[in-house]
Amino acid sequence: MKKSIFIAVIGVAASVASSYGQGFIAFNSYVANSGAGAIANGVDGTTPLDTTYTADLYFALGTVTDPVGGDWKSPVSGAFTDLNVTGVTYSGGFFQGPTVIIPSYVSGAISFEVVAFNGSSYANSGIRGRSGAFTESTIANSASAPLTAFGDNGTGMPNFQVAPVPEPTTLALAGLGGLASLVAFRRKQA
């Protein structure tokens, strides 16, 4: 009887400990990639982003792919969660943010995406860009453990650039123009 109560208590303690797990990562591109850094450039691909741009971090537990494929302005995959890291701006293409707590992380692989935008959010910005997914095999899961930086245990944070996002009205007008062309073409045939 005593043995089964002891085992039950240990099981409950282990499940509670894992349900309150959290990881820690240095949200900093200066120290990324073993100190080599990672830079974000402007629309021209060479001018580093300045303080008019904000950095934010997305994460997904496990190994998740979300390639950019040259479309820097595309949305971040729905598999990722926005950590809403606030007040982190670029300077010379680099950002230096706080230590970020990753909720629900206990151990194992974790994927990240860093975004840059010049508006109120990534989704609402006229010029934006994202790094694409990169994975760390493990990160610190204790505030007292040595802090993990991007690239310490994985592929590292890639360089990226931003791109203008077309206005929805431009796309709508293009669609209406195409529709009008089809109607005009159809009338000529009749």
What pLDDT, on a 0 to 100 scale, did the predictor assign at position 143? 83
Q: Where does the pLDDT of residue 21 fall: very low under 50, low under 70, confident under 90, or very high at 90 and above? A: confident
Half-sphere exposure of residue 151: CA atoms within 13 angstroms, side-chain side = 15
The predicted model scores a pTM of 0.78
What pLDDT, on a 0 to 100 scale, did the predictor assign at position 166? 83
Distances (CA, A) of 43 to 56, 104, 161: 18, 36, 6
- DSSP string for 66-133: ---TT-TTSPPPTTSEE----S-BEETTEEEEEEEEEET--SS-EEEEEEEESSSSSTT-SEEEE---
Q: Where does the pLDDT of residue 126 fall: very low under 50, low under 70, confident under 90, or very high at 90 and above? A: very high
Task: Please state, rounded to an integer, the average pLDDT across all residues of the chain.
Answer: 84
What pLDDT, on a 0 to 100 scale, did the predictor assign at position 59? 97
Q: Where does the pLDDT of residue 185 fall: very low under 50, low under 70, confident under 90, or very high at 90 and above? A: low
Q: What is the mean pLDDT of residues 60-68?
A: 95
Q: What is the mean pLDDT of residues 37-64?
A: 96
Q: Where does the pLDDT of residue 186 fall: very low under 50, low under 70, confident under 90, or very high at 90 and above? A: low
pLDDT surpassing 70 at residue 15: no
pLDDT surpassing 90 at residue 20: no
What pLDDT, on a 0 to 100 scale, did the predictor assign at position 164? 94
pLDDT in tens, 159-180: 999 999 886 554 444 555 655 5
